[in-house]
A = this chain, B = another copy of it.
Amino acid sequence: MMIGRVVGSVVSTQKDERLESLKLLVVQVHDHTNAPTERYVVAVDAVQAGLDDVVLFATGSSARQTRLTNDKPCDAVIMAIVDSWDVDGTNVYEKWA
């Protein structure tokens, strides 16, 4: 899994039938200091994430292992909202700070 921040969303009306009613969010990938990188991914939201939330996302076939994404053409899913994470004893992100 990787960590990123929800920075936006994608609207689509003409799409595969199995995608109906799924929320598609744009996640900007963060590096190990919680700083934003140039990379992004569009992920299905499985945890009611909101704009600016720092989240954990899974990619590949693992992205289909939630009730919402099972058997769907979805290769990225947000499966956790991060409260905090630390690296080498330093708190690099704290949601409630």
Residues of A within 8 A of B (CB): 1-3, 7-16, 18-19, 24, 26, 28, 31-32, 38-43, 46-48, 56, 58-66, 69, 71-77, 79-89, 92
- Please, which residues of chain B bring their CB within 8 A of the CB of A73? 46, 58, 62-66, 69, 77, 79
A86–B8 contact, CB under 8 A?
yes
Partner of A10, one of B76, B85, B88: B85
Partner of A83, one of B13, B63, B87: B13
A79–B19 contact, CB under 8 A?
yes
B76–A12 contact, CB under 8 A?
no
Q: Top 9 closest A-B pairs, CB basis? A: A15-B80, A62-B75, A32-B40, A12-B80, A1-B42, A8-B87, A65-B73, A16-B79, A10-B85
